[in-house]
Structure 1
Amino acid sequence: MPADVTAPLTRTSLAEQVRERLREAIVCGELPQGGLITEPVVAARYAVSRAPVREAMLALERDGLVTFDARGRARVLELTPRVFEELVSVRVAIEGLAARLAAAGDVAELAAALEENIRRQGEAGTYRDLTRLDVDFHEAIVRAARNDRLLAAWLTARSVFEFWLAAAFRDAELAVAPRTLAVDSHRRLLRAVASGDPDRAEKAAVAHITRWRTYLPAARPVLPEAAR
Structure 2
Amino acid sequence: MTETQPLPRLTLSRQIRDGLVRRIVSGELEPGERLVETRIAESYGTSQAPVREALRELEAIGMVETRPRRGTFVRHFIQQTLRESYVVRAALEEAATRLALPAGTLPADALRADVAAMREAAGRGDVGAVGTASVSFHRHIVDAGHNELLKHAWEALQIEARTSVTLLAVEPDLGDVADEHAELLDALLSSDLAKACQLTRDHQWHYADLPHDAHGRAR
1:160 matched residue in structure 2: 162
SS in 1 for 2:103: coil
Match runs of 1:173-212 below 5 Å: 178-212=173-207
Distance 1:5 1:76, change over 3 A: farther
Match runs of 1:61-80 below 5 Å: 61-68=59-66, 72-76=70-74, 78-80=76-78
SS in 1 for 2:6: coil
TM-score, scaled relative to structure 2: 0.70
SS in 2 for 1:146: coil
Higher RCO structure, 1 or 2 (CA under 8 Å, sep 6+): 1
SS in 1 for 2:65: strand
CA distance in 2, matches of 1:17, 1:129: 12
2:20 matched residue in structure 1: 26
CA distance in 2, matches of 1:51, 1:149: 31
Shift of 1:95: 1.4
Match runs of 1:44-83 below 5 Å: 44-45=42-43, 46-48=45-47, 53-54=51-52, 57-68=55-66, 72-76=70-74, 78-83=76-81
Shift of 1:190: 1.1
Distance 1:144 1:79, change over 3 A: farther
**1:143 to 2:143 alignment:** yes
Q: Which moved more, 1:80-89 or 1:18-27?
A: 18-27
- The amino acid across from 1:37 in the alignment is L
Distance 1:79 1:92, change over 3 A: farther
1:94 matched residue in structure 2: 92
Shift of 1:205: 0.6
TM-score, scaled relative to structure 1: 0.68
Matched residue count? 199
Give 5+ residue unaligned stretches, structure 2: 212-219
Give 5+ residue unaligned stretches, structure 1: 173-177, 217-228
Please tell me the root mean square deviation across aligned C-alpha atoms, in Å.
Answer: 3.4
CA distance in 1, matches of 2:7, 2:108: 39
Shift of 1:24: 3.3
| Percent identity (aligned) | 27
